[in-house]
Amino acid sequence: MFGCYCLQYLDKSLLNYASVMGILEDADLTTEQYGTLSLIFYVAFLAFEMPHAYCLVSHILFHMRRLKRS
């Protein structure tokens, strides 16, 4: 689970580095379009973070219970 959160953090931070490194010019984006894309990304991230964590933990607990019965 720690690995997943590290990858998510890197993905969020790379979005900011990409704007500094010139993705706006390469993709012909205005700052308003880039802001909208960033907003969509962060809203989707927040919306799916809790269900993702719940499913991951419940999956791990399911397998731990199964192993404990064996």
- 28-38 confidence digits (pLDDT tens): 999 999 999 88
What percent of the chain is helix, strand and coil (3-state, nearest 5)? 90, 0, 10
pLDDT on residue 20? 83
Give the whole-angstrom CA distance, residue 56 versus residue 26. Answer: 37
Query: Would you kindly state where each structural domain of the chain is located, as residue ranges?
Result: 9-69
- 41-68 confidence digits (pLDDT tens): 889 888 988 888 888 888 877 777 777 7
pLDDT on residue 53? 82
